[in-house]
Structure 1
Amino acid sequence: MAENGNPQRTTNHAPPDPAAFRRIAFASLIGSVIEAYDFALYGFAAALVFPKVFFPSLGPAAGTIASLATLGVAFVARPIGAILFGYFGDRYGRKATLIATVLGMGVGTTLMGLIPSAETIGSVAPILIVVLRAVQGLALGGEWAGAILFVTEHAPPNRRGFYAMFPQLGQTLPTILSAGTFLLVNLVVGEDTFVSWGWRVPFIASIVLVALGLYIRLRVEETPVFVRDQQRTTSSRPPLLEAFKRQPSTIARCAGVALTAISFVYVAQSFLSNFGVTHVGLSKNNVLVATALSGVFYTIFCALASVLSDRYGGRRIIVGAEILGAAWALALFPLLSMNTAASFTVALCVTMGIAGLALGAVGPFLPEQFPTRYRYTASGISYQITGVIGGGIAPLVAPIIVDSWGTTAFGIVLAAMSVVAAICTYSLKDRSRQTLDWSPES
């Protein structure tokens, strides 16, 4: 099949029975919650705690830059994880791969909570953090595509957005959970104790979620779309090579689809969290309350976009959110310059609300662009390339651009990223009414 080929077959297969659907939905939701919760925990810790715990000798400014730089390690590892887990997911099934990703993320996060500070073991501490951050990145690189495919490949075309809502909510709910957990621990133990050891509690406690996620994922069945493709496929070429041979342009454009959503989320959770403390003058508790509230907006608008994509098509919803994001990026820092808790909270909530609106329809939209044979690999690598740019590079360069050229310059950068995202999304075909059960030869 040529680049951007258009499968015409439709399948009116019924969704699984209610009990089976509940297992599928919950398995995708809980796994995604674990992955994103662990990832969000690290983002908050990198902004609010790690400069003091792991980079104290660098001073506040340099320590913050070094700490936020460790965020980028995971985003470099994420495309590698997408390739690695994508290979196994396309060759041996979605279910087994998702079990491996939830274990990798859970173990990596729990061990983070056990690493001694730099004052105790010196430079070994930040090295260990970087290594475990890479483990997180590898696991998350394989999680997103697998969780999305697990529900969309069970879904009829006219309900794909609704089904995909569950793993997408797994990306949004942890903003509330992680910020709320940090806030609770901070309130219970106090500021000094929180920096000393209290921040470790949410990391270590994530092992409970891992056990739950593993139990649920062991009890679900493989997707029927994958099973049928395995029965008919004759290709022995590695999925990554086949994907880039058949659809290189599609992969490149798909890498821009989630750029607004991911850049807004990670700039808000990492850079703006630190900005609220260092520039606006808010306490950590003020920032955590605002972040938890913004997570509510993130979740609501993500769910809304997922459901609306079944009616209006994912492309239309995503492009609209990206255009809105470009306009908002230019207004964001003027609002923050008011230097009040209220303006900071509004800025964070609107930013995360737009991110949710841009993210919700991405779940069904990206997998629709690729055939079953290499869908896990292609959709995963596209999404994770976006993660490198929007989640790894954007928060890292944000303080550098702001310090060098001011907040207006970074607002322009964010707006430009949203414009690029809208162009990439609009250039792709809307296949929301077509089946996912197709091969390159269809």
Structure 2
Amino acid sequence: MVLGDNEVTQSVDASTRDRRVQVRRAALAGSIGTTIEWYDFFLYNTAAALVFPHLFFPSSTGYAGVMQSFATYAVGFAARPVGAAIFGHWGDRLGRKTTLIVTLLLMGLSSAVVGLLPGTASIGFAAPLILVLLRLVQGIAIGGEWSGSVLLAMEWGDQRRRGLLASFAQVGVPVGLVLGTGGMTLLSATLSRAEFDAWGWRIPFLLSLVLVAIGLVIRLRILETPMFAAVVAEKKTSRAPVKDAVRHHWREILLSAGLRFSEQLPFYLFTSYVLVYVVQRPEFSNTFVLTAVLVGAAAELVLIPVFSQLSDRVGRKRVYLSGSVLTAAIAFPYFTVLSHSGHALIFVVIIVSLIAHAMQYGPQAALIGESFPTHLRYGGAGLGYQLASVFAGGPAPLLATWLLHKTGTPYSISIYIVLSAVVTVLCVIALPDRSKADITDPSVYAR
């Protein structure tokens, strides 16, 4: 599906009314697409904490099983930069819309197959191997999805509201978390543990196919963004956009990856590792922790657009740095509460941790997207965003499990979170703030 002359003309010459319609469609397509992608991804996260250790690694000890399960979880993160490079190339060559349809299909189909995969008891060592392969496909799809979803709305809408418009794709993350975690919570609460482990956890994975069908209908109705259509019309697309992005904007790529540390690393501890940590105390159930995460995600649905809109007014960096500092500030109290407090305080601290995440995740899309020129934006923003997955998000639950095992204290994990915030603060300070800049002007990116 190559971007044709007719679609280029329609996008560039869209009337004010048509533009408003396309902005709404683009915002919906971005948010629904990322909702589906992250619904699938969070299902895997939850299953990795609750089901996969004994289903795919039954002969391992409790500690080893959790480590092996989180290792397959980390594989998906390692694949994300690969997906960003592959789809970044085509997103900056063929357009945002076409590429996003492919990523949606990849993610949905691979997740449905996870829901059908027999355990080690049925097919032996092939089960964890296939699981890892499917996780790789998921990671590649996610790697190509994010920047395209962000750019759909950001490049269609009013440039004075880029923070808010780009955040519609970010909203898909808590929506996916609500749907994925909510589905697991409902099944965990209504089924016996034996039923949940045997077949209940598979139902949400199979429902991915329904969501993919909805997402495809929406994405097929979107025109290419006018910013990219103008690049095509002027014949300014790059022949090797990812290579050019790395060559000319390597600094922005690295800083974009670094600024994500205090957003992404703690987030996967706050939403995935917390399931393992809290339920070690016998008075707490899976359902309780899942419900707390669910409520925190619901709060993010409201707060991500709020903080994004605030970044349009006061600048991305101010809002982002505030969220990073708050994350560092709660790192030690967070594990004190989880280790020693009762249900009410634990519920509150889980929600607060996700508020700190929303302060960063909302403005983040525009902050990274604005750092690259239009003809290299899909690949450059995607690489910067997804590189953090290798060093921050992916290893986080694995390293947290190891740190607790080796040190015997959860405060070693708190130090880990604080260090991530230090990396973020330094990178945000070093990255130019283009909140108020005209990102269609090439001189904005001149050295």
Using the TM superposition, give the Cα deviation of residue 22 of structure 1 relative to its aligned residue in structure 2, in angstroms.
Answer: 2.2
In the superposition, relative to structure 1, how do residues 224 and 235 fare at CA in structure 2: closer, same or farther (>3 Å)? closer
Q: Which residue of 1 aligns with 2:12?
A: none
1:287-332 Cα offsets, whole Å, 9 max, x none, are 1111111212232322221111111111111111111111111221
Using the TM superposition, give the Cα deviation of residue 395 of structure 1 relative to its aligned residue in structure 2, in angstroms.
Answer: 1.3
Q: Which residue of 1 aligns with 2:300?
A: 298
Q: Which residue of 2 aligns with 1:9?
A: none
TM-score (norm 1): 0.94
* Native 8 Å contact 1:14 1:156 kept in 2: no
Residue identity in the other structure for 2:395: I
**For the residues of structure 1 that align with 2:107 and 2:405, how far apart are their CA atoms?**
34
1:320 corresponds, among 315, 319, 322, to 322
2:112 corresponds, among 103, 110, 113, to 110
Q: Which residue of 2 aligns with 1:165?
A: 167
Q: Which residue of 2 aligns with 1:6?
A: none
Using the TM superposition, give the Cα deviation of residue 28 of structure 1 relative to its aligned residue in structure 2, in angstroms.
Answer: 0.7
Corresponding residue SS for 1:95: helix
Using the TM superposition, give the Cα deviation of residue 189 of structure 1 relative to its aligned residue in structure 2, in angstroms.
Answer: 2.5
Verify: 1:84 aligned to 2:81, yes or no: no
* Native 8 Å contact 2:84 2:379 kept in 1: yes
Verify: 1:183 aligned to 2:179, yes or no: no
Verify: 1:424 aligned to 2:427, yes or no: yes
- Identity in percent: 37
Using the TM superposition, give the Cα deviation of residue 60 of structure 1 relative to its aligned residue in structure 2, in angstroms.
Answer: 1.6
Q: Which residue of 2 aligns with 1:41?
A: 43
In the superposition, relative to structure 1, how do residues 15 and 392 fare at CA in structure 2: closer, same or farther (>3 Å)? farther
**For the residues of structure 1 that align with 2:378 and 2:148, how far apart are their CA atoms?**
6
User: Which is worse superposed, 214-223 or 179-188?
Assistant: 179-188
Using the TM superposition, give the Cα deviation of residue 43 of structure 1 relative to its aligned residue in structure 2, in angstroms.
Answer: 0.4
Q: Which residue of 2 aligns with 1:195?
A: 197
* Native 8 Å contact 2:231 2:237 kept in 1: no
1:276 corresponds, among 270, 275, 278, to 278
Residue identity in the other structure for 2:417: L
1:228 corresponds, among 230, 241, 246, to 230
* Native 8 Å contact 1:15 1:154 kept in 2: no
**For the residues of structure 2 that align with 1:404 and 1:222, how far apart are their CA atoms?**
51
User: Which is worse superposed, 98-107 or 57-66?
Assistant: 57-66
User: Which is worse superposed, 208-217 or 230-239?
Assistant: 230-239
Verify: 1:402 aligned to 2:428, yes or no: no
Corresponding residue SS for 1:56: coil
In the superposition, relative to structure 1, how do residues 217 and 235 fare at CA in structure 2: closer, same or farther (>3 Å)? closer
Q: Which residue of 2 aligns with 1:100?
A: 102
Q: Which residue of 1 aligns with 2:11?
A: none
In the superposition, relative to structure 1, how do residues 224 and 143 fare at CA in structure 2: closer, same or farther (>3 Å)? same
**For the residues of structure 2 that align with 1:223 and 1:362, how far apart are their CA atoms?**
20
Using the TM superposition, give the Cα deviation of residue 42 of structure 1 relative to its aligned residue in structure 2, in angstroms.
Answer: 0.4
**For the residues of structure 2 that align with 1:414 and 1:328, how far apart are their CA atoms?**
9
Using the TM superposition, give the Cα deviation of residue 343 of structure 1 relative to its aligned residue in structure 2, in angstroms.
Answer: 2.8
**Residues 28-67 of structure 1 correspond to what in structure 2 (within 5 A)?**
28-67=30-69
**For the residues of structure 2 that align with 1:116 and 1:235, how far apart are their CA atoms?**
46
Using the TM superposition, give the Cα deviation of residue 438 of structure 1 relative to its aligned residue in structure 2, in angstroms.
Answer: 3.7
Using the TM superposition, give the Cα deviation of residue 235 of structure 1 relative to its aligned residue in structure 2, in angstroms.
Answer: 6.1
**For the residues of structure 2 that align with 1:65 and 1:281, how far apart are their CA atoms?**
24
Corresponding residue SS for 1:431: coil
Using the TM superposition, give the Cα deviation of residue 191 of structure 1 relative to its aligned residue in structure 2, in angstroms.
Answer: 1.6
**For the residues of structure 2 that align with 1:140 and 1:356, how far apart are their CA atoms?**
20
In the superposition, relative to structure 1, how do residues 165 and 15 fare at CA in structure 2: closer, same or farther (>3 Å)? farther
**For the residues of structure 2 that align with 1:372 and 1:20, how far apart are their CA atoms?**
19
**For the residues of structure 2 that align with 1:172 and 1:41, how far apart are their CA atoms?**
13
1:226-247 Cα offsets, whole Å, 9 max, x none, are 0111223456541122112112
Corresponding residue SS for 1:65: helix
Runs of 4+ residues over 6 Å off in structure 1: none
User: Which is worse superposed, 145-154 or 321-330?
Assistant: 321-330
How many residues are treated as equivalent by the alignment?
Answer: 430
In the superposition, relative to structure 1, how do residues 437 and 156 fare at CA in structure 2: closer, same or farther (>3 Å)? same
Using the TM superposition, give the Cα deviation of residue 339 of structure 1 relative to its aligned residue in structure 2, in angstroms.
Answer: 4.3
Using the TM superposition, give the Cα deviation of residue 281 of structure 1 relative to its aligned residue in structure 2, in angstroms.
Answer: 4.3
* Native 8 Å contact 2:228 2:374 kept in 1: yes
Using the TM superposition, give the Cα deviation of residue 80 of structure 1 relative to its aligned residue in structure 2, in angstroms.
Answer: 0.1
TM-score (norm 2): 0.93
Residue identity in the other structure for 2:114: M
* Native 8 Å contact 2:238 2:376 kept in 1: no
Using the TM superposition, give the Cα deviation of residue 334 of structure 1 relative to its aligned residue in structure 2, in angstroms.
Answer: 1.3
Residue identity in the other structure for 2:415: I
Q: Which residue of 1 aligns with 2:383?
A: 381
Residue identity in the other structure for 1:41: L
Corresponding residue SS for 1:337: helix
Q: Which residue of 2 aligns with 1:3?
A: none
In the superposition, relative to structure 1, how do residues 260 and 299 fare at CA in structure 2: closer, same or farther (>3 Å)? farther
Corresponding residue SS for 1:44: helix
* Native 8 Å contact 1:82 1:381 kept in 2: yes
Residue identity in the other structure for 2:258: G
